[in-house]
């Protein structure tokens, strides 16, 4: 199957899934929940979502500069929000925007491999912290989740903490793995190996961890504020757990802008905490609208000249 048809198929699958989820949650109830949303919480959620992506762009810039690319603050912000515009409009979730960032950095005269690795590691850094926070959220929500899955809360909490510890240790396993890398792609992993051997490797990992934690906390705050606008009240621990499956499903390259997969994950995950399906789907849609608004801003920036 040709690539354009594959992209169209992914987009249609995502929209079909969204239609199914809306049907199960009863469209009328979802619309009513959205119409009765509290404007103050909606604006607070939008502000948190924008702040999250501003922080994401700064995290990417710091990583790119650490890998040797001369990336300025304005270009990092502009290209990041332009990438969001692609993510919101094209099938493939975050893939299209990530490719765009790497290409723009390369066109600016930066090393091809370093440009590519900056985007890959930036994405991996976010996913790493998302899974780490999700594991901690599972441990803190063990009482509720244990009942839902018929698992003793103490056992579930211990397993979740073990997974969190494993995730926390993963970055420090990278240098010895790269040092022994002799297989295919040896040249391709060269920039990453050189960076992992630098004396400031641990400091950079710490900085990335703090930046990624800020990004994920702001993203969770945006999701929670959108839910509060619809009358959904959950503890921070519940959101720490719920954000992981919701954001991971939204990032899968099987939809346009995460529509469909995000709502399905929200309905399934928030149901564990007793949230009504209509409210859960509505909250996920509000978060999706935040992305569309920022994507529109990024799309507008495509025609703007590069800052000098």
Exposure string of 6-28, with b = 16+ CB inside 10 Å and e = fewer, is ebeebbebbeebbeebbeebeee
Q: Which structural domain range is residue 198 located in?
A: 7-302
In a domain, 307, yes or no: no
In a domain, 86, yes or no: yes
In a domain, 227, yes or no: yes
Sequential DSSP letters for 228-265: HHTT----HHHHHHHHHHHHHHHHSSSSBTTTTHHHHH
What is the pLDDT, as a whole number, of residue 155? Answer: 96
In a domain, 182, yes or no: yes
Number of domains the chain contains: 1
In a domain, 193, yes or no: yes
What is the pLDDT, as a whole number, of residue 189? Answer: 77
Q: Say if CB 257 and CB 96 are below 8 A apart.
A: no
What is the pLDDT, as a whole number, of residue 308? Answer: 46
Helix (H, G, I), strand (E, B) or coil at 59: helix
What is the pLDDT, as a whole number, of residue 193? Answer: 79
Burial class (CB in 10 A: 0-12, 13-18, 19+), 73: exposed
In a domain, 2, yes or no: no
Give residue-wise pLDDT tens across range 162-213: 999 999 888 888 888 777 776 656 677 777 777 778 888 888 889 999 999 9
In this prediction, the residues of the chain whose per-residue pLDDT falls under 70 are: 1-15, 89-95, 182-186, 299, 301-308
In a domain, 1, yes or no: no
What is the pLDDT, as a whole number, of residue 112? Answer: 81
In a domain, 209, yes or no: yes
Where on the phi/psi map is residue 76: left (φ > 0), alpha (ψ -120 to 50), or beta?
alpha
What is the pLDDT, as a whole number, of residue 182? Answer: 64
What is the pLDDT, as a whole number, of residue 12? Answer: 66
User: What angle (nearest 5°) sits at the alpha carbon of residue 284, between those of residues 166 and 279?
Assistant: 115
What is the pLDDT, as a whole number, of residue 98? Answer: 85
């Amino acid at each position: 199957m040709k690539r354009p048809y594959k992209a169209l198929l992914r987009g249609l699958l995502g929209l079909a899934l969204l239609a199914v989820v809306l049907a199960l949650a009863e469209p009328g109830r979802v619309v009513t929940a959205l119409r009765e949303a509290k404007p103050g919480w909606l604006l607070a959620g939008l502000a948190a979502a924008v702040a999250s992506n501003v922080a994401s762009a700064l995290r990417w810039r710091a990583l790119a500069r650490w890998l040797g690319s001369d990336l300025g603050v304005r270009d990092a912000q502009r290209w990041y929000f332009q990438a969001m515009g692609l993510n919101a409009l094209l099938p493939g979730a975050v893939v299209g925007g990530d490719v765009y960032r790497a290409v723009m950095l390369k066109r600016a005269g930066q090393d091809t491999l370093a440009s590519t690795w900056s985007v890959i590691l930036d994405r991996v850094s976010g996913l790493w912290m998302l899974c780490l926070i999700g594991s901690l959220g599972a441990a803190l929500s063990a009482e509720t989740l244990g009942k839902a899955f018929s698992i003793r809360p103490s056992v579930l909490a211990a397993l979740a903490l073990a997974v969190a510890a494993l995730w926390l240790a993963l970055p420090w396993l990278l240098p010895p793995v790269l040092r022994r890398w002799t297989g295919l792609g040896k040249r391709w992993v060269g920039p990453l190996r050189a960076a992992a051997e630098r004396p400031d490797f641990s400091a950079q990992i710490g900085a990335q961890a703090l930046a990624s934690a800020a990004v994920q906390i702001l993203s969770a705050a945006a999701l929670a504020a959108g839910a509060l606008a619809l009358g959904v009240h959950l503890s921070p621990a519940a959101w720490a757990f719920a954000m992981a499956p919701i954001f991971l499903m939204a990032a899968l390259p099987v939809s346009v802008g995460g529509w469909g997969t995000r709502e399905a994950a929200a309905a399934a995950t928030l149901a564990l905490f007793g949230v009504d399906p209509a409210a859960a789907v509505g909250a996920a849609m509000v978060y999706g609208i935040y992305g569309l608004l920022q994507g529109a801003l990024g799309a507008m920036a495509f025609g703007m000249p590069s800052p000098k």
